[in-house]
């Protein structure tokens, strides 16, 4: 709800923001009517209240955050209205710059939704003068062309019809800006629709004096709503004999949400979540992809194990084992674990990656094909979790391998005990062998027996089948394991040489990644042409080019070479920028080579080599000697500002992890090295550690640094212990050595 977007001093209202802003109960659709409704005679904020003394030094203070959402239905669509009004006191230059410009679009998502917006702005000067911005005069249309975006295997079009930029003139420190965004949304629907969920902290970037959210719904709308971490509850304010239902959440003097590293705001701060669903009859209620209450006038506040069983008990008909899979595994003699692993990687290719080249070739117009799947006999494309669960579950059932389905919720979204939004669930198959195996729905570069870091260690629902696996019979709470910091490791070996003038440093770096560290890099570092040929051969499927007719094959022979070169150049530039981002110095002459894709198992290392140069940086002349900022070669280290050292919030990290850096300095002939003794450091405790050592062997100085985070979560009481090794690691990054002329 309170999402502030700062984009080059622009207060940017994205489609997401518009979907979560609010609206009034009357439904005006003309700018003058809207203005009169908000700023007219009944405006209770004509007189601005005094800012509390405790917030005088804040960058800005939200005096009013008033939001109204009205959900209405017509014959063939849902007509929803949203109004946001905010009054904000701007206390410094940063706040003035943030609100100096607005961008707001009108969107049309083809065939589904249309959104129109209106805006009004007033500026109240410290002396009480009020200036209304002429929005129609000041706004500038920045785009009139329809921008079309494609994603996934199925083309989805998003058209932006009109995008306006609005500069706010004469905005100064001390001003109060009073603005509203009014939006009208039309959803095309035949009988049911689930709105985007809204999940937000009560507080925002600035403290808020008065917050109010009102919801108003007609019949056939269902509300899922709950408040968390001490946020006020939603109250029913429906008047007697009023046909529509009306609710309100209000709060006074809401503190701001701190901007801290390793923080999950929805878990740590007062927050609320809600979702509106529409279903015009019982038939459509059963088809709606949301957790609905028994009656539309009952607000759904959560889910129990019993309700989860009722929701999913008949949702997994396990009867989908394709002939090609039966044939592939017919002659294989494998243990149950080996069979499960082989099946995972086989399906990853046969149900997904074998189509990848054709889909990309079609989207990039490398051939004249319109629908590449038509080239395949009985193609089965699995891109949704539900499809994976049915396909893989059917295979396990056919081979008498016991399993259950896990329903998990991402750590940043809170506990499974607070489950409210169905789309917040992710699914995993747990194979119940002597040592449990976890099978996550595959993507292009996912792995067998891998659990996403966002759900590691969380409480989950375990969905257990009957003995015949014909339906679910029981749902229990369970817990997922957490990987170890040694499982998620990056090792980098950097070989450093200098030119004769010490103006250029050449770095040859080789990296080895495993676990989550590897998974996080796979999609950025690998393209399909790095691995798909090997998969074709391994699984005996026909390469895409061999499926083409003579005309398309000839074209593809030519276009693919150019496409591959183009994509490789873009990747090289992107990786150079990514590597540049690891340091606070500029790199040049970047090269990149893949040694091993690491795609065969979670323990298979992603291995690549990079080469780059550093010119006129890191090394400074000191008479006949040279000073090298050697510590910076391990990359930027976490620097904690003084105001963040007294942390009250708990620490939420992505996952346990570790980093090995080895720096090999080739000492130029005629020089010795001194000062490297300072590079020997060691701090370890129950939260993690940093260990470094430096050894000189003839003309080679080898420096090794090892940093690790033991856990994915720490209580705030352990923050000082984390600071112990974080500060030592930062200190290391600032250390220097002297290359001394003999």
- Summarize pLDDT for 307-352 with one digit per residue, the tens: 999 999 888 999 998 888 888 998 889 999 999 999 999 999 999 9
The answer to whether residue 104 scores a pLDDT higher than 90 is: no
> How many angstroms from the chain centroid is the CA of residue 258?
19
What token pair was written down for 633? 């070669």
CA angle 527, 532, 536 (to 5 degrees): 175
Gap between the Cα atoms of 526 and 607, Å rounded: 11
Average pLDDT over residues 345-366: 95
Residues contacting residue 50 through CB under 8 Å, at least 6 positions apart:
none
pLDDT at 5 over 60: no
Taking residues 65-73, what's their average pLDDT? Answer: 92
Range list of β-strands (E), 138-220: 139-143, 158-167, 176-188, 192-194, 198-201, 208-217
**For the chain, first and last CA: distance in Å?**
65
Bridge partners of 184, per DSSP, are: 81, 116
Cα 499 from Cα 613, distance rounded (Å): 10
Residues 6+ apart with CB under 8 A from 596: 604, 605, 606, 607
Three-state SS at 736: coil
* Cα-Cα-Cα-Cα dihedral sign, residues 8, 10, 11, 14: negative
Q: Residue 66 pLDDT more than 90?
A: yes
> Which helix (H) or strand (E) segment is 359 a member of?
helix 354-363
Q: Are 116 and 183 in contact (CB under 8 A)?
A: yes
Tell me the C-alpha distance between 55 and 505, whole Å: 50
Mean pLDDT (whole number) for 453-460: 98
Say how far apart CA 172 and CA 100 lie, in whole Å: 9
CATH fold label, 11-294: Immunoglobulin-like (2.60.40)
- Which CATH fold would you assign to the domain 489-518+559-741? Jelly Rolls (2.60.120)
Give yes or no for residue 407 having a pLDDT over 70: yes
User: Distance between CA atoms of 630 and 587, rounded to whole angstroms?
Assistant: 15
pLDDT tier, 108 (very low <50, low <70, confident <90, very high otherwise): low
Predicted confidence at residue 24, as pLDDT, reads: 35
**355 pLDDT above the threshold of 80:** yes
pLDDT-based confidence at residue 109 (cuts at 50, 70, 90):
low
511 or 103, which is more confident: 511
% of the chain with per-residue pLDDT over 70: 92
Residue 25 pLDDT grade (very low, low, confident, very high; cuts 50, 70, 90): very low
Angle at CA 158, nearest 5°, toward 563 and 441?
Answer: 70
What is the arithmetic mean of pLDDT over 212-229?
A: 96
> How sure is the predictor about 31, in pLDDT bands with cuts at 50, 70 and 90?
confident
Taking residue 277's Cβ as centre, other Cβ atoms within 10 Å add up to: 26
DSSP β-bridge partners for residue 684: 689
Spatial neighbors of 256 by CB under 8 A, at least 6 apart, are 58, 203, 204, 205, 206, 207, 208
Backbone angles phi, psi at 710, to 5 degrees: -70, -30
Kindly report which listed range (185-189, 570-574, 583-587, 671-675) carries the lowest average pLDDT score. 185-189
Given a cut of 50, whether residue 195 has pLDDT beyond it is yes
Using CA atoms, how far residue 339 sits from 157, 282, 348, 409, 603, in Å, is: 40, 43, 14, 28, 18
pLDDT at 18 over 60: no
Is the model's pLDDT at 19 over the cut of 80? no
9 pLDDT higher than 70: no
Sign (positive or negative) of CA dihedral 441, 447, 450, 453: negative
Neighbours of 34 (CB within 10 A): 20
* 3-state DSSP of 583-647: CCCCCEEEEEEEEECCCCCCCCCEEEEEEEEEECCCEEEECCEEEECHHHHHCCCCCCCHHHCCC
Q: Is 720 helix (H, G, I), strand (E, B) or coil?
A: helix
Mean pLDDT of 99-118: 71
Mean pLDDT score, 24-37: 67
Of 164-173, 589-598, 609-618, 720-729, least confident by mean pLDDT is 164-173
Q: Taking Cα atoms as reference points, which of 181, 11, 170, 171 lies closest to residue 91?
A: 171
Q: Residue 734 gets which letter from DSSP?
A: T
In terms of pTM, does the model score above 0.85?
yes
The per-residue pLDDT for range 265-324, each reduced to its tens digit, is: 999 999 999 999 999 888 888 889 999 999 999 999 999 999 999 999 888 999 998 888
Phi, psi of 306 (to 5 degrees): -65, -40
CA distance 317 to 299: 31
pLDDT in tens, 539-549: 999 999 999 99
Instruction: Give the confidence band of 113 by pLDDT, cuts at 50, 70, 90.
Output: low
The answer, yes or no, to whether residue 105 has pLDDT greater than 70, is no
pLDDT tops 80 at residue 231: yes
- % of the chain with per-residue pLDDT over 90: 78
Look at 618 and 33; give whichever has higher pLDDT. 618
Domains in the chain: boundaries: 11-294, 323-479, 489-518+559-741
- 65: which residues sit within 8 A by CB, 6+ positions away? 2, 84, 85, 86, 204, 208, 210, 211, 212
H or E element in which residue 475 lies: strand 472-479
Whether the predicted pLDDT of 244 surpasses 50:
yes
Q: Which residues contact 459 (CB under 8 A, 6 or more apart)?
A: 415, 416, 417, 477, 478, 479
For 647-711, the DSSP string reads --S-EE-S--EEEEEEEEEEPPTTEEEE-GGGG-EEEEETTEEEEEEEEEETTEEEEEEEEEE--
Residue 178 has pLDDT above 50, yes or no: yes
Q: Partners of 403 in the beta sheet?
A: 431
Q: Does residue 65 have a pLDDT over 60?
A: yes
State the pLDDT confidence band at 553, using cuts at 50, 70 and 90: very high
CB 623 within 8 A of CB 527: no
Alpha helices in 205-322 (DSSP H): 265-268, 282-287, 305-312
Over the range 8-23, which residues count as b (16 or more CB within 10 Å of their CB) and which as e? Answer: eebbbbeeebbbbbbb
Query: What is the structure's pLDDT at 442?
Result: 94
**pLDDT(1) > 90:** no
The answer on pLDDT for 234 being more than 90 is yes
582 burial (CB, 10 Å; 0-12 / 13-18 / 19+) is exposed
- Mean of per-residue pLDDT scores for the chain: 90
Q: For residue 370, how many other CB atoms are within 10 A of its CB?
A: 7
What's residue 2's pLDDT?
35
């Amino acid at each position: 709800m309170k999402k502030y977007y700062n984009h080059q001093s622009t207060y940017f209202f994205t489609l997401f923001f518009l979907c979560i802003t609010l609206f009034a109960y009357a439904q005006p659709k003309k700018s003058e009517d809207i203005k009169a409704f908000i700023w007219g005679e009944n405006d209770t904020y004509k007189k601005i209240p005094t800012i509390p003394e405790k917030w005088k030094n804040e960058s800005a203070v939200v005096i009013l955050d008033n939001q109204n959402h009205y959900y209405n239905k017509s014959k063939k669509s849902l007509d929803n209205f949203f109004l946001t009004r905010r009054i904000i006191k701007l206390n410094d230059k940063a706040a003035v710059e943030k609100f100096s410009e607005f961008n707001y679009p009108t969107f049309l998502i083809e065939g589904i939704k249309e959104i129109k917006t209106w805006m009004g702005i007033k500026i109240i000067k410290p002396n009480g003068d009020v200036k209304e911005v002429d929005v129609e005069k000041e706004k500038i249309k920045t785009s009139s062309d329809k921008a079309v975006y494609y994603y996934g295997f199925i083309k989805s079009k998003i058209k932006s019809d009109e995008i306006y930029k609005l500069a706010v003139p004469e905005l100064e420190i001390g001003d109060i800006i009073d603005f509203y965004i009014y939006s009208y949304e039309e959803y095309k629907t035949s009988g049911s629709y689930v709105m985007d969920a809204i999940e937000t902290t009560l507080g925002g970037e600035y403290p808020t004096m008065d917050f109010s959210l009102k919801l108003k719904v007609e019949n056939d709308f269902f509300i899922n709503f709950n408040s968390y971490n001490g946020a006020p509850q939603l109250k029913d304010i429906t008047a007697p004999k009023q046909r529509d239902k009306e609710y309100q959440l209000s709060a006074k003097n809401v503190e701001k949400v701190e901007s801290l590293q390793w923080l999950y705001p929805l878990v740590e701060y007062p927050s609320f979540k809600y979702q509106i669903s529409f279903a015009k009859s019982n038939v459509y209620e059963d088809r709606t992809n949301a957790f609905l209450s028994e009656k539309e006038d009952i607000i759904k506040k959560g889910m129990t194990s019993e309700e989860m069983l009722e929701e999913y008990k008949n949702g997994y008909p396990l009867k989908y084992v394709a002939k090609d899979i039966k044939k592939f595994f017919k002659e294989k003699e494998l243990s149950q674990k080996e069979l499960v692993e082989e099946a995972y990687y086989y399906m990853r290719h046969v149900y997904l990656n074998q189509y990848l080249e054709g889909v990309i070739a079609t989207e990039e117009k490398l051939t004249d094909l319109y629908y590449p799947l038509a080239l395949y006999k009985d193609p089965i494309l699995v891109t949704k979790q539900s499809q994976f669960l049915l396909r893989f579950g059917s295979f396990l059932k056919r081979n008498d391998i016991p399993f259950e389905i896990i329903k998990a919720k991402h750590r940043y979204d809170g506990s499974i005990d607070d489950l409210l939004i169905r789309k917040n669930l992710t699914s995993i198959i747990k194979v119940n062998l002597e040592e449990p195996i976890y099978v996550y729905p595959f993507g292009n570069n996912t792995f067998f027996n891998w659990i996403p870091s966002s759900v590691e260690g969380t409480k989950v629902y375990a969905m257990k089948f009957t003995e015949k696996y014909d339906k679910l019979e029981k749902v229990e709470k369970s817990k997922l394991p957490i990987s170890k910091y040694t499982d998620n490791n990056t090792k980098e070996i950097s070989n450093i040489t200098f030119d004769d003038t010490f103006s250029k440093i050449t770095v040859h770096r080789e990296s080895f990644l495993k676990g989550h560290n590897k998974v996080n890099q796979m999609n950025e570092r690998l393209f399909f042409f790095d691995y798909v040929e090997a998969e074709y051969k391994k699984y005996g499927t026909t390469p895409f080019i061999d499926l083409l007719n003579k005309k398309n094959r000839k074209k593809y022979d030519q276009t693919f070479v150019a496409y591959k070169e183009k994509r490789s150049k873009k990747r090289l530039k992107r990786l150079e920028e990514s590597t540049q981002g690891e340091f606070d110095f500029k790199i040049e002459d970047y090269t990149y080579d893949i040694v091993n894709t690491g795609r065969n198992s979670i323990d298979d290392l992603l291995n690549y080599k990079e080469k780059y140069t550093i010119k006129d940086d890191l090394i400074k002349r000191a008479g006949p000697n040279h000073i090298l900022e050697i510590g910076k070669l391990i990359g930027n280290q976490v620097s904690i500002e003084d105001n963040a050292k007294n942390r009250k919030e708990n620490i939420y990290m992505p996952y346990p992890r570790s980093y090995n850096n080895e720096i090999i300095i080739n000492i130029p002939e005629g020089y010795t090295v001194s000062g490297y003794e300072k590079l020997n450091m060691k701090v370890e405790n129950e939260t993690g550690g940093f260990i470094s050592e430096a050894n000189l062997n003839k003309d080679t100085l080898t420096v090794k640094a090892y940093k690790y985070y033991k856990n994915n979560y720490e209580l705030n009481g352990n923050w000082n212990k984390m600071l112990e090794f974080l500060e030592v690691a930062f200190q290391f990054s600032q250390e220097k050595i002297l290359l001394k002329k003999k």
